[in-house]
A and B are shown apart, each in its own frame.
Chain A
Amino acid sequence: EPEVTQTPSHQVTQMGQEVILRCVPISNHLYFYWYRQILGQKVEFLVSFYNNEISEKSEIFDDQFSVERPDGSNFTLKIRSTKLEDSAMYFCASRDRGDSPLHFGNGTRLTVT
Chain B
Amino acid sequence: QKEVEQDPGPLSVPEGAIVSLNCTYSNSAFQYFMWYRQYSRKGPELLMYTYSSGNKEDGRFTAQVDKSSKYISLFIRDSQPSDSATYLCAAWYSSASKIIFGSGTRLSIRP
Contacts and interface: CB of A to CB of B under 8 A. Distances in A.
Interface of A: 4, 6, 31, 33, 41-45, 48, 50, 55-56, 58, 89, 91, 98-99, 101-107, 109
Interface of B: 32, 34, 36, 41-46, 49, 51, 88, 94, 96-104
Interface residues of B, dominant DSSP: loop
B17 to A, nearest CB: 26
Given A101-B34, A102-B46, A104-B43, A42 B102 contact: yes
A31 B101 contact: no
Given A42-B103, A43-B88, A45-B99, A99 B94 contact: yes
13 contacts: A4-B43, A33-B97, A41-B103, A42-B103, A43-B44, A45-B98, A56-B96, A56-B98, A99-B32, A101-B99, A104-B36, A105-B43, A107-B41
B44 A91 contact: yes
A84 to B, nearest CB: 20
Contacts, number: 54
A107 B45 CA distance: 12
Given A48-B97, A55-B97, A56-B97, A89 B41 contact: yes
Contacts of B43: 4, 6, 91, 104-107
Nearest to A50: B97
B97 A107 contact: no
